[in-house]
């Protein structure tokens, strides 16, 4: 049953929780990103002539494309003439920046076109075009003007003239995947088979080795005059695990042979997002099997409880299986915002292949925790890394802008396109609710039919799904893994793979109730973590020092016994937050002279009551920086 | 009270434990290293002419020097004509390889002298000469022939003509410290002040910044045509934390300003070894204060319980304070053999400044654990890294040879010069015993006086110190930290800074007894390690799977209660090993489907008895690889 995400114009998010975040994104984040790009001068990089005094960065172009894409999503539901004008002027700039042959890239325009396409491993030309294509999909969905489609198709034709298996073409593929996603999305929008073919080429060529055991990246390095056996561009140098480590780019072997998710986490999940679409669109069984294998490896061995991905700072990516350090110290926790953003998109693509509650659970976890906490409640401060613990005395503040500015626009993209994660339709008009976010979905093709979800999630587990209009619909409602035991639904249905399938509902309201109670989560012993995390519904909770004055939250141990809900309260601008309370012992002898001693750690006889708050709300109220998701056990 | 290490010829190690290891080193390790160098062709690199087809490695020269040095030490106590001939032929080769101006380096001889001295940061020219100087000290102490002293002094004069603060000289210093150690040792042997001056220049110039905030390494990179802001030689690329990270070389700031030990661990301890000698020889108070500050930082925040140094694999060096991962997974434990070797030497130098029991304790711990386990009982297999735990299923075998061959010759050097760690003399003839290793010391200047230590350490705590001969001596006997409570000595003395000072002993035997009982050691909470390690005397013990059939040693937790000694037994070729026994719970639910679950780890009600063996004996008897020093606590 192929599934189609809800078109954004068909969804209205009504959840106070989420619409406040969306408003923030629309009114603060996106303008802040454009403002930052303008004040740093990056915004105009596409207009720079050859030998411009400021040499542009290899991926500043993509920042323009990403924020344009994000802006288009918000414009679909929230018209805003000033923002639309910003978008149109960006489109003008893009059109003007394109070379006659279709090439577009500010870095090589300034440095000289003769050296273009000589380092696709490091220099992001294909990555940038990928983001341009995604911007095009968003812009054309919004405007249908063709003003971006025409230059983008020209750019794609140029790329296809350079890369491919035919004689005289380069058998290259991007160092950073992204163009594959764009090509497949534009294929779905336009039906142009050449887009599918180019995506197929990139996906299947990647990681192939020639008779000398060399990949395209080796041959390309040699052609540049570099030593392919240790050659790396300057910006890559400190990032490989070992020289010539193409697992960093998931190009150590072809996708269909890979059994372990490796390397740079963002690249890996972008790769798999596209591969999932490709398998769906073509029915390629080997690619689909590879995607499923790597999904299992990710979810079973390499994912933080928050949906964070990538333990290793050095290569911004995956460490060994079960290695999931929680603190940045020692470079054992990275959990980049964009990797979780990519994971959410990958989940959405998986849910277009088939309904699978586990995939929905991962999407929900990643959304509410790893992703959501990356943006401050002010809407204009962001985390690049999302460790699960920070120590007292070293608070980790969000930043307003990044040298590598990928995370902020991804926040805008995701919040702008949230409706497409919440609802989808099946081929026969079945309406699927993936995420329990209050909102309305005007069912495509039967516009008078509206499915409305009412809920106070994530603070309360009561849900109403109302179907109004001329025609009824069948519903498939995701029953979250955490609610699988104890949920109730007023209408009898069939629970299959985590989704409850109901018969046709017509002008009626279905009531569901999910048990919204604190629960304890434990980690596989292979992680080495004999600790406990607290969750409620989709939310991972953390202990933060601002709520626990007088307790050194770096050195507490939760005792056996219930965790209870506290009185709901506001945290910064977020209303109705439900804090939790748990009993803990504190370490009595935490002051040591040196490193080693003859007395064991001594936990208090008595207990203190700790307050826990959702992880995504961390570090919005100052404090000394003590924060932890995983807690020692004193039981 | 300046102290002088015992001349090697004056010491005979009689300890069966240590003399067996020394014999192994002499008869197996050193010949195996020379053999490996010859069969790989590295041995002759010094003889290669310009444009030789095999381009030599930047530091193969040092391997020749190091093994020559090690051979000279053994020849001082164990004459061996065949080995002496090997040494003399190496000296011939070195003499022939020297250029007319004193320069000597096979790498640049082959690649062309015009580019010499253009990359002292990465290319080890000064490092190699440093090892040559140390070889010279050993060779001239052995032979007094001057055959190496003459070319070495010529090489030093060449270096001094290139580097220094005078106009026209380069203000450089080595990327890898070592020459400073050699220069100061040769100064002490010869009294030639120019050696002290050159060492002083290197030690004090290091890390200085010019008016642009640049170090010599930046200026040198610029002069090479490299970009100093991210330029790194190919072999350095994956090793820096950040581009231009001269903390890697301890050159981020001058030594006298440093407050934290950082970067590559071997370089750091070599640096501090030389700095300690420098402070002793010159009385420089700022250098001495820096050494003491960095000693405290090392010992209080960055040293493994085994004396291992360097948690981070990426730069083979120190991580953040208190970050001491035990497993190689995630690159959070490196503990390179040579770093511990360097630490032992640093300790010896500290003990020449003043007697300090803490320094003796660190030296002893490092020697018996971090260092000793690096060599297999076969004498010809070696560890480069020394993690404190390995997981079942991933055994870590010792290797016979390394691409970077620094560790094996350092094993030979240390075991050959062990006598100089065990005994020293004070200015007024006081004899100091630093390590409780059975042996005889013929007191220099009063050759008829012999101090003999009899003991079965590390297996038994009974010790006899006999003084024989014409004249009595005052004794200063180190009372190990682990024996400070409960030791006995038949003669009353004054315990000062961990050393027991006795009145003159003449033709008499002093009996001491150290409590040789298992003890539990715990880690500072800042390490995050609420675990327990078992030690007895100087030995750190580990749980290894070969002794514990049927128990998954990856998942055990020691219960409160006594650890007891087992029946002594042989482990491989090591006789009289005392194993320990401790009770532990085992994890009952260690098989999990995925990463997270709702049931906590469940420890068994009953207990099993675990066998522990000394850490240095690990992985000498096969097994599946399960090994751990730190154990969870089930108490």
HEC profile of B220-272: HHHHHCCCCCCCCCHHHCCCCCCCCCHHHHCCCCCHHHCCCCCCEHHHHHHHH
The string of pLDDT tens digits covering residues A18-44 is: 999 999 999 999 998 999 899 888 899
pLDDT given at position A471: 86
**Count of CB atoms within 10 A of residue A592's CB?**
17
The string of pLDDT tens digits covering residues B502-547 is: 999 999 999 999 999 999 999 999 999 999 999 999 999 999 999 9
The string of pLDDT tens digits covering residues A129-174 is: 999 999 999 999 999 999 999 999 999 999 999 999 999 999 999 9
| CA B499/CA B475 separation, integer angstroms | 10
pLDDT class for A399, splitting at 50, 70, 90? confident
| CA B428/CA B578 separation, integer angstroms | 39
Asked whether the beta carbons of residue A305 and residue B524 sit closer than 8 angstroms, the reply is no
pLDDT class for B314, splitting at 50, 70, 90? confident
- The mean pLDDT value for B562-580 works out to 94
Contact B339, B263 (CB under 8 A): no
pLDDT given at position A31: 92
Query: Which of A231, A243, A522 comes nearest B600 by C-beta?
Result: A522
Q: Which helix (H) or strand (E) holds A108?
A: helix A106-111
Residues 316-335 of A with CB under 8 A from B: 319-320, 322-323, 325, 329-332
| CA B437/CA B363 separation, integer angstroms | 13
Contact B364, B480 (CB under 8 A): yes
Q: Which helix (H) or strand (E) holds A70?
A: helix A60-77
- The mean pLDDT value for B39-54 works out to 90
Kindly give, in sequence order, each residue whose CB lies less than 8 Å from that of residue B224, ignoring residues fewer than 6 positions away.
B118, B119, B231
Do strands B556-558 and B608-614 pair parallel, antiparallel, or not at all (unpaired)? Answer: unpaired
Do strands A431-433 and A473-478 pair parallel, antiparallel, or not at all (unpaired)? Answer: parallel
Per CB-CB distance under 8 Å, the chain B contacts of A534 are none
Residues 529-548 of B with CB under 8 A from A: 530, 532-533
| Optimal mutation site among A361, A595, A630, interface B, most CBs of chain B within 10 A | A595
pLDDT class for A236, splitting at 50, 70, 90? low
Query: Which of A319, A520, A601 comes nearest B530 by C-beta?
Result: A601
- With left for phi above 0 and alpha for psi between -120 and 50, is residue B90 left, alpha or beta? alpha
Kindly give, in sequence order, each residue whose CB lies less than 8 Å from that of residue B359, ignoring residues fewer than 6 positions away.
B295, B347, B350, B351
Closest-CA distance, B328 to chain A, in angstroms, reads 10
N-terminal to C-terminal alpha carbon distance within chain B:
47
pLDDT given at position B126: 98
Asked whether the beta carbons of residue B300 and residue A234 sit closer than 8 angstroms, the reply is no
- With left for phi above 0 and alpha for psi between -120 and 50, is residue A43 left, alpha or beta? alpha
pLDDT reading at B635 higher than 80: no
Higher pLDDT, A471 or B169: B169
Residues 41-80 of A with CB under 8 A from B: none
Numbers of helices and strands, H then E, in chain B: 16, 25
Asked whether the beta carbons of residue B522 and residue A240 sit closer than 8 angstroms, the reply is no
Average pLDDT, chain B: 94
Residue of B nearest to A389 (CA): B528
pLDDT given at position A407: 83
Per CB-CB distance under 8 Å, the chain A contacts of B330 are 311-312, 319-320, 323, 325, 330, 332
Contact A617, A373 (CB under 8 A): yes
| Optimal mutation site among B331, B392, B484, B598, interface A, most CBs of chain A within 10 A | B331
Buried-exposed string B258-282: b where 16+ CB fall within 10 A, e elsewhere: beebbbbbbbbbbbbbbbbbbbbbe
The structural domains of chain A, with segments of one domain joined by +, span: 421-513, 519-633
Do strands B3-5 and B423-426 pair parallel, antiparallel, or not at all (unpaired)? Answer: antiparallel
- The mean pLDDT value for A235-262 works out to 86
Residue of A nearest to B310 (CA): A330
- The SS3 assignment for B467 reads strand
Closest-CA distance, B218 to chain A, in angstroms, reads 15
pLDDT given at position B237: 57
pLDDT reading at A460 higher than 80: yes
pLDDT reading at A227 higher than 70: yes
The DSSP annotation for A264-301 comes to: BHHHHHHHHHHHHHHHHHH--HHHHHHHHHHHHHHHHH
Kindly give, in sequence order, each residue whose CB lies less than 8 Å from that of residue B173, ignoring residues fewer than 6 positions away.
B120, B126, B163, B201, B202, B205, B206, B216, B251
Q: Has domain A421-513 been given CATH number 2.60.420?
A: yes
Kindly give, in sequence order, each residue whose CB lies less than 8 Å from that of residue A513, ignoring residues fewer than 6 positions away.
A461, A462, A463, A487, A488, A489
In A206-268, which ranges are E strands? none
pLDDT reading at A230 higher than 70: no
DSSP state of A170: B
Residues 248-287 of A with CB under 8 A from B: none
Closest CA relative to residue A334, chosen from A413, A399, A264: A264
pLDDT reading at B203 higher than 80: yes
Asked whether the beta carbons of residue B230 and residue A237 sit closer than 8 angstroms, the reply is yes
Among A232-246, A390-404, B175-189, where is mean pLDDT lowest? A232-246
pLDDT class for A95, splitting at 50, 70, 90? very high
Residues 498-527 of B with CB under 8 A from A: 519-527
pLDDT reading at A482 higher than 70: yes
Residue of A nearest to B530 (CA): A601
pLDDT given at position B227: 73
> For chain A, what percent of residues have pLDDT higher than 70?
97
Closest CA relative to residue B95, chosen from B104, B87, B86: B104
pLDDT reading at A413 higher than 60: yes
Kindly give, in sequence order, each residue whose CB lies less than 8 Å from that of residue A209, ignoring residues fewer than 6 positions away.
A215, A253
pLDDT given at position B327: 95
- The SS3 assignment for A523 reads strand
Residue B628: both structure tokens together: 């751990």
Buried-exposed string B580-603: b where 16+ CB fall within 10 A, e elsewhere: bbbbbbbbeeeebeebbeeebbeb
pLDDT reading at A241 higher than 90: no
The string of pLDDT tens digits covering residues A312-338 is: 998 999 999 999 999 998 889 999 999
Q: How many CB pairs under 8 A join A and B?
A: 153
Instruction: Identify the residue whose tokens are 């288009």.
Output: A72
pLDDT given at position B606: 96
pLDDT given at position A83: 96
> Is-cis flag, bond preceding A458, omega within 30?
yes
Kindly give, in sequence order, each residue whose CB lies less than 8 Å from that of residue A66, ignoring residues fewer than 6 positions away.
A131, A134, A135, A406, A409, A410, A412, A413
| Optimal mutation site among B230, B238, B246, interface A, most CBs of chain A within 10 A | B238
- The SS3 assignment for B613 reads strand
pLDDT given at position B1: 56
Do strands B431-433 and B473-478 pair parallel, antiparallel, or not at all (unpaired)? Answer: parallel
Asked whether the beta carbons of residue A520 and residue B600 sit closer than 8 angstroms, the reply is yes
| CA B549/CA B568 separation, integer angstroms | 19
Per CB-CB distance under 8 Å, the chain A contacts of B332 are 325, 330, 332
- The SS3 assignment for B534 reads strand
- The mean pLDDT value for A581-607 works out to 95
Residues 563-622 of A with CB under 8 A from B: 587, 589-590, 592-601
| CA A262/CA A320 separation, integer angstroms | 8
| CA B307/CA B303 separation, integer angstroms | 6
pLDDT given at position A380: 83
CATH topology for B426-513? Maltose phosphorylase, domain 3 (2.60.420)
Asked whether the beta carbons of residue A523 and residue B596 sit closer than 8 angstroms, the reply is yes
The half-sphere exposure of B454 on its side-chain side, counting CA atoms within 13 A, is 7
Closest-CA distance, B587 to chain A, in angstroms, reads 9
| CA A441/CA B578 separation, integer angstroms | 74
pLDDT class for A404, splitting at 50, 70, 90? low
| CA A179/CA A166 separation, integer angstroms | 20
Per CB-CB distance under 8 Å, the chain A contacts of B589 are 525
Among A30-39, A204-213, B292-301, where is mean pLDDT lowest? A30-39
| CA A580/CA A600 separation, integer angstroms | 30
pLDDT reading at B406 higher than 90: no
The string of pLDDT tens digits covering residues A334-349 is: 999 999 999 999 999 9
Higher pLDDT, B14 or A426: B14
ipTM exceeds 0.90, yes or no: yes
Residue A378: both structure tokens together: 């002010």
pLDDT reading at A405 higher than 90: no
- The mean pLDDT value for A178-190 works out to 98
| CA B120/CA B152 separation, integer angstroms | 19
pLDDT reading at A464 higher than 90: yes
| Torsion of the alpha carbons at B7, B12, B13 and B16, rounded to the nearest 10 | 170
Q: Say if A225 is an interface residue toward chain B (CB within 8 Å).
A: no
The string of pLDDT tens digits covering residues B216-257 is: 999 998 998 877 766 555 555 567 777 788 999 999 999 999
pLDDT reading at B379 higher than 70: yes
Average pLDDT, chain A: 94
> Is-cis flag, bond preceding A194, omega within 30?
no
Higher pLDDT, B115 or A427: B115
**Measuring CA to CA, how many Å separate B149 from each of A160, A176, B94, B162?**
68, 57, 11, 20
Residue B412: both structure tokens together: 């030979």
| CA A421/CA A368 separation, integer angstroms | 13
Closest CA relative to residue B152, chosen from B188, B171, B128, B170: B128
Closest-CA distance, A48 to chain B, in angstroms, reads 24
């Amino acid at each position: 049953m192929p599934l189609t995400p809800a078109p954004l114009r068909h969804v209205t998010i009504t959840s106070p929780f989420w619409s406040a975040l969306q408003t923030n994104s629309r009114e603060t984040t996106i303008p802040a990103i454009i403002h930052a790009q303008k004040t740093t001068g990056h915004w105009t990089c596409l207009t720079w002539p050859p030998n411009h005094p400021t040499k542009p960065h290899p991926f500043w172009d993509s920042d323009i494309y990403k924020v344009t894409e994000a802006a288009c999503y918000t414009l679909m539901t929230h018209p805003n003439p000033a923002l639309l004008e910003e978008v149109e002027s960006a489109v003008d700039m893009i059109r003007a920046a394109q070379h006659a042959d279709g090439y577009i890239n500010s870095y090589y325009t300034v440095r000289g076109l003769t050296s273009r396409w000589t380092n696709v491993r490091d220099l992001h030309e294909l990555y940038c075009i990928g983001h341009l294509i995604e911007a095009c999909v968003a812009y054309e969905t919004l405007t249908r003007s063709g003003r971006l489609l025409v230059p983008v198709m020209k750019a794609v034709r140029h790329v296809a003239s350079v890369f491919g298996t035919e004689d005289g073409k380069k058998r290259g593929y991007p160092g950073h995947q992204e163009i594959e996603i764009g090509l497949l999305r534009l294929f779905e929008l336009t039906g142009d088979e050449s887009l599918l073919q180019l995506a197929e080429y990139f996906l299947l060529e990647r990681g192939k080795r020639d008779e000398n055991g060399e990949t395209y990246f080796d041959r390309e390095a040699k052609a540049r005059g570099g030593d392919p056996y240790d050659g790396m561009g300057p910006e890559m140098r400190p990032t490989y695990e070992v020289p010539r480590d193409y697992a960093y780019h998931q190009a150590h072997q072809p996708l269909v042979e890979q059994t372990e998710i490796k390397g740079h986490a963002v690249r890996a999940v972008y790769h798999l997002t596209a591969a999932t679409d490709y398998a769906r669109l073509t029915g390629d069984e080997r690619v689909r099997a590879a995607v499923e294998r790597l999904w299992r490896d990710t979810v079973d061995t390499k994912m933080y409880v928050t949906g964070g991905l990538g333990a290793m700072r050095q290569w911004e990516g995956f460490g060994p299986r079960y290695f999931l350090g929680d603190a940045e110290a020692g470079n054992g926790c990275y959990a980049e915002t964009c990797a979780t953003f990519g994971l959410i998109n990958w989940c959405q693509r998986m849910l277009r292949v088939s309904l699978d509650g586990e995939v929905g659970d991962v999407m929900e976890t990643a959304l509410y925790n790893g992703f959501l906490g990356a943006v401050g409640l002010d809407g204009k401060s962001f985390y690049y890394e999302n460790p699960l613990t920070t120590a007292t005395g070293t608070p980790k503040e969000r930043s307003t802008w990044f040298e590598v500015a990928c995370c902020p626009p991804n926040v805008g993209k995701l919040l702008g396109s949230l409706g497409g994660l919440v609802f989808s339709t099946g081929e026969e008009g079945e309406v699927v609710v993936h995420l329990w976010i209050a909102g309305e979905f005007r069912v495509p093709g039967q516009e008078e039919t509206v499915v409305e979800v009412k809920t106070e999630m994530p603070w309360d587990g009561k849900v109403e799904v109302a179907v109004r209009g001329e025609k009824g619909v069948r519903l498939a409602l995701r029953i979250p893994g955490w609610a699988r035991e104890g949920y109730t639904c007023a209408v009898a249905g069939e629970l299959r793979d985590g989704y409850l399938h109901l018969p046709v509902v017509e002008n009626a309201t279905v009531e569901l109730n999910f048990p919204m109670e604190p629960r304890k989560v434990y980690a596989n012993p292979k992680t080495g973590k004999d600790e406990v995390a607290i969750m409620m519904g989709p939310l991972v909770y953390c202990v933060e020092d601002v709520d626990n004055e007088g307790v050194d939250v770096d050195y507490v141990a939760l005792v056996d016994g219930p965790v209870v809900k506290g009185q709901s309260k506001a945290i910064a601008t977020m209303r109705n937050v439900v804090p939790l309370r748990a009993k803990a012992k504190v370490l009595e002898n935490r002051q040591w002279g040196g490193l080693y001693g003859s007395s064991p750690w001594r936990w208090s006889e008595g207990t203190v009551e700790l307050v826990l708050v959702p992880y995504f709300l961390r570090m919005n109220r100052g404090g000394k920086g003590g924060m932890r998701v995983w807690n020692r056990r004193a039981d």
